[in-house]
Amino acid sequence: MNNTIKTALFLGLLTGLLLGIGSFWGYTGIIIGLVFAVLINFFSYFFSATIALKMYRAQEVTEKEQPELYKLVREVVHLANIPMPKLYIIPTSNPNAFATGRNPAHAAVAVTTSLVELMEKDELKAVIAHEISHVKNRDILIATIAATIAGVISYLGIMARWSAIFGGIGGRDGDNNLVSLLVLGIITPIMAMLIQLAISRSREYQADESAARLLHNPHAMIKALQKLEQGVKVNPLRFGSQAGASMFIINPFSGKNFMKMLSTHPSTDDRINRLKELHI
């Protein structure tokens, strides 16, 4: 199934989950939760670039300092037909990259020193194309919408757990039974988290495919992913927050494979297999 369609379906599932809770819990609770979630997540949306770049010690570089990097990025953004982003270098032996910014006109691409040193020209260009695809596909916005809906669901789950402690929840007759509270307070937020992670994985597949099609070269993306996987195993990132791991092209903190449903990224093998199936 097309990853864009998958993302739409996942967002629809999140919304359906939220509306289902609304009919059970009451829409006043949804409105309160929505206000909090919108404030938190859209603050993050507008300031995500600044927060992420500082968190991972990224340093802005000029064209004079990194002429080859600028040249590659210019070639990619020309193909993608988006504005030139600001470029940053992260001084670390962990080979990786991420893109951030609320839209193509306010975007930044950060690459690590190890990535620039490790990759061949076509591989580095493929990684850049992956990150530019995130920018063009507005994945920061999609992630923010998903986080906002999941945040409301989590808020309602917390309220349900407190209600269980203090004697049940209001609403329709029978809403205070333990089974209902269990579903609302524990299982539903877990479902929302799993859907949110599925959206993150779907966007990684989409960025891989978009990069391969943009450059007409899936093989370069395959080689880059193989090197990234090995490089992260040898040199996991030792600073910054794991909360931002989903931004990177590959999880920077560990080379271990986590349980698939609890991972922000698809397995590298799955990503490579999908790229091999592309007909370009």
Residue 141 has pLDDT above 90, yes or no: no
With 50 as the cut, is the pLDDT of residue 195 above it?
Answer: yes
Instruction: Give 213-260 pLDDT, tens digit per residue.
Output: 999 999 999 999 999 999 999 999 998 888 788 899 999 987 555 566
Residue 166: pLDDT band by 50, 70, 90 thresholds? low
Positions annotated as catalytic residues are 131
What is the radius of gyration, based on Cα positions, of the chain?
Answer: 20
Q: Is 106 exposed, middle or buried (0-12, 13-18, 19+ CB in 10 A)?
A: middle
Burial 79-103 (b: 16+ CB within 10 A, else e): ebebeebbbbbbebebbbbbbbbbe
Measure the CA–CA gap between 44 and 146, rounded to whole angstroms.
Answer: 13
Mean model confidence pLDDT for the chain: 84
Name the amino acid, one letter, at 264: T
pLDDT value of position 37: 67
Would the pLDDT of 70 be above 90?
yes
The number of domains in the chain is 1
25 pLDDT band (50/70/90 cuts)?
Answer: low
Mean pLDDT of 258-269: 81
pLDDT band at residue 173 using 50, 70 and 90 as cut-offs: very low
Question: What is the average pLDDT across 122-149?
Answer: 91
**How sure is the predictor about 102, in pLDDT bands with cuts at 50, 70 and 90?**
confident
Q: Which of 54-63, 84-93, 118-127, 192-201 has the lowest mean pLDDT?
A: 192-201
Question: Looking at per-residue confidence, does 245 or 78 come out higher?
Answer: 78
Structural domain of 248: 3-276
pLDDT at position 34 is: 67
pLDDT digits (tens, 9 = 90+) for 59-68: 999 999 999 9
Stretch 169-183: mean pLDDT? 56
pLDDT of 171 reads: 47
Amino acid at residue number 86: K
